[in-house]
């Protein structure tokens, strides 16, 4: 299986040809999902005792399976938080795989971890955190949030009297679902500030004042959002940070989506206060144009993360030995064995320079503002709220949830676009509305107009 023969060389060339083709394509085909039974019928048995051969498996992948996927970098994919990995980062993802680097410990992965750390230094510099702040790349925002919450909880346990019970965190209803999901994982309660709009310091103070004695004793962290997923709203990080400092609460900022915009001069001021955070999540696989999967968690005091996450085991002792000096990424987040997933970001940053990143991020913000202007020209469309970061919410007058659903499915089934509805509270009503999130700088005004035309 591991022997290199002529067939393997040919297969590798075939795979490379495919990769080159895909990397250089700006508008990949927008595939559509198929039912599992249909895919099974089309490809048959692929896992067999003798193997079906690389050529056949690859052909099935190209002819059938890839066509049942929606490429995240399609310029008319404006749903979720889409993605748009740079060509350089995708190319270097291949190199990352081919290099087989273990990214847990410096002793094994020094060269790769060095590159990750160079990219991380730039990321940390965007946050305004003090010099000794540092972070690691994770599998995504969920893992980054979890790693930060574990660190916060462990710090609380060690430093607060009477902290042996169940912990409690405060966040807003605009926070990402992963915050509530990860709170479940670590078994802490979540008290929600009921606002999808900007959570402010006043909101937080009122909520803290409202807690009963037991809850106040269990409260150890506040989680603010630096760019809500639904609407791009940035909480009052300054006001919230100040209260956290006064009340000695861990301050986490989930900037998984919005964090890339720290590099954009036009909106950087909106993040004022992020420099007070104890930990920050930023997902390079969202607005820093990295391939999946690449999140990041940054700590004001990385030593606290190390105390919470370092794994011990006799077979690991040698990697933690004093003589094996160097930075061990596995000490700072939940995962042990890890891919050096920051490597594609490093290469891309090194190749293009950080100014290109600034430009591409500013373009996403500009596209949201331009789309808002274009929406104003359609009599049957109206904005639900002004654009925020690269998100806009708007409504098609007269449409209900079913209409939005049909619109999504029609555009997808025609291989035209992936645009989806969401819900947002307007004047106390939880309304179904349309949402665009712009990441891909290759999205054009023609793309936007063509999508809006499908709502006539
Ligand atoms: C604000 C925010 N936090 C966390 C996440 C979860 O990130 P991931 O999907 O990379 O785990 C997302 C994903 O959209 C997000 O927007």
Residue pLDDT, tens place only, 408-418:
999 999 999 99
Q: Which of 330, 352, 374 is the last residue before a domain boundary?
A: 352
Q: What is the pTM of this model?
A: 0.97
Q: Are both 331 and 211 inside the same structural domain?
A: yes
Is 116 part of any domain?
Answer: yes
Q: Are both 342 and 370 inside the same structural domain?
A: no
- CATH assignment at residue 374: 3.90.1150.170
Each residue's pLDDT tens digit, 112-155: 999 999 999 999 999 999 999 999 999 999 999 999 999 999 99
pLDDT at 230: 97
Coil vs helix vs strand at 166: coil
Is 307 part of any domain?
Answer: yes
424 lines ligand 1 (CB under 6 A): no
Chain centroid offset of residue 262 CA:
14
Q: Which of 352, 380, 400 is the last residue before a domain boundary?
A: 352
283 lines ligand 1 (CB under 6 A): yes
Q: Which atom of ligand 1 is closest in space to residue 285's alpha carbon?
A: 10
Q: Are both 158 and 245 inside the same structural domain?
A: yes
Q: Are both 404 and 375 inside the same structural domain?
A: yes
176 lines ligand 1 (CB under 6 A): yes
Q: Which of 303, 337, 352 is the last residue before a domain boundary?
A: 352
225 lines ligand 1 (CB under 6 A): yes
252 lines ligand 1 (CB under 6 A): no
Is 338 part of any domain?
Answer: yes
Q: Are both 346 and 277 inside the same structural domain?
A: yes
Per-residue confidence at 162, pLDDT binned at 50, 70, 90? Answer: confident
Which is it for strands 219-225 and 168-172: parallel, antiparallel or unpaired? parallel
* pLDDT cut 90: percent of the chain above it: 91
Q: Are both 437 and 412 inside the same structural domain?
A: yes
Is 31 part of any domain?
Answer: no
Per-residue confidence at 189, pLDDT binned at 50, 70, 90? Answer: very high
| Residue 320 pLDDT greater than 90, yes or no | no
Between the CA of 257 and the centroid of ligand 1 the distance, in Å, is: 6
Is 27 part of any domain?
Answer: no
Q: Are both 398 and 319 inside the same structural domain?
A: no
Between the CA of 63 and the centroid of ligand 1 the distance, in Å, is: 32
| Residue 324 pLDDT greater than 90, yes or no | no
* Residue to mutate (ligand 1; options 283, 288, 291; most atoms within 8 A of CB): 283
Is 58 part of any domain?
Answer: no
Between the CA of 295 and the centroid of ligand 1 the distance, in Å, is: 9
Segment 47-72 mean pLDDT? 96
256 lines ligand 1 (CB under 6 A): yes
Q: Are both 348 and 364 inside the same structural domain?
A: no
Q: Are both 363 and 405 inside the same structural domain?
A: yes
Q: Are both 323 and 414 inside the same structural domain?
A: no
Total structural domains in the chain? 2
Q: Are both 148 and 131 inside the same structural domain?
A: yes
Alpha-carbon span 391 to 258, nearest angstrom:
10
pLDDT at 141: 98
Segment 348-364 mean pLDDT? 98
Identify the burial level of 69 via C-beta atoms within 10 angstroms of its C-beta, where 0-12 means exposed, 13-18 middle and 19 or more buried: middle
- CATH assignment at residue 154: 3.40.640.10
What is the domain range of residue 240? 101-352
pLDDT at 57: 97
The arrangement of strands across the sheet holding 250-254 comes to: 134-138, 295-299, 279-282, 250-254, 219-225, 168-172, 189-193
* Beta-bridge partner residues of 86: none
Q: Are both 313 and 361 inside the same structural domain?
A: no
């Amino acid at each position: 299986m591991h022997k290199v023969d002529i067939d393997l060389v040919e297969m590798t060339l075939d795979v490379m040809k495919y990769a080159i083709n895909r990397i250089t394509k700006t508008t990949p085909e927008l595939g559509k999902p198929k039912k599992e039974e249909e895919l099974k019928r089309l490809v048959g048995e692929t896992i067999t005792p003798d193997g079906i051969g690389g050529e056949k498996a690859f052909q099935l992948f190209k002819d059938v399976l890839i066509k049942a996927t929606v490429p995240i970098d399609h310029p008319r994919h404006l749903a979720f938080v889409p993605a748009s990995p740079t060509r350089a980062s995708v190319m270097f993802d291949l190199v990352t795989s081919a290099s087989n680097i273990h990214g847990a410990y410096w002793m094994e992965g020094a060269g790769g971890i060095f590159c990750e750390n160079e990219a991380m230094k730039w990321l940390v510099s965007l946050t305004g955190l003090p010099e000794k702040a540092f972070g690691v790349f994770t599998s995504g925002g969920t893992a980054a949030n979890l790693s930060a919450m574990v660190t916060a909880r462990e710090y609380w346990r060690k430093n607060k009297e009477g902290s042996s019970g169940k912990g409690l965190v405060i966040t807003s209803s605009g926070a990402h679902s992963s915050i509530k999901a990860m709170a479940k994982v670590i078994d802490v309660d979540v008290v929600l500030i009921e606002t999808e709009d900007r959570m402010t310091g006043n909101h937080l103070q009122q909520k803290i004042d409202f807690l009963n004695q037991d809850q106040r004793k269990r409260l150890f962290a506040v989680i603010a959002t630096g760019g809500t997923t639904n609407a791009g709203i940035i909480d009052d990080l300054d006001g919230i940070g100040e209260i956290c400092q006064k009340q000695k609460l861990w301050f986490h900022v989930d900037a998984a989506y919005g964090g890339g915009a720290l590099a954009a001069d036009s909106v950087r001021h909106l993040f004022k206060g992020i420099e007070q955070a104890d930990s920050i999540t930023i997902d390079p696989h969202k607005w820093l144009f990295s391939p999946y999967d690449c999140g990041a968690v940054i700590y004001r005091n990385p030593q606290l993360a190390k105390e919470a996450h370092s794994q011990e085991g006799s077979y690991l002792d040698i990697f933690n030995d004093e003589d094996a000096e160097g930075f061990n990424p596995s000490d700072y987040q939940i995962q042990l064995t890890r891919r050096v997933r920051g490597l594609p970001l490093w290469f891309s940053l090194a190749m293009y320079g950080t100014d290109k990143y600034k430009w591409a991020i500013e373009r996403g913000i500009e596209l949201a503002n331009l789309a808002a202007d274009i929406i104003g020209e359609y009599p049957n469309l109206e904005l639900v709220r002004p654009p925020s970061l690269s998100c806009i919410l708007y409504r098609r007058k007269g449409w209900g949830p079913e209409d939005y659903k049909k619109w999504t499915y029609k555009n997808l089934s025609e291989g035209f676009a992936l645009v989806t509805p969401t819900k947002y509270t307007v004047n106390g009503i939880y309304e179904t509305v349309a949402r665009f999130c712009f990441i891909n700088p290759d999205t054009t005004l023609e793309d936007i107009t063509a999508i809006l035309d499908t709502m006539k």
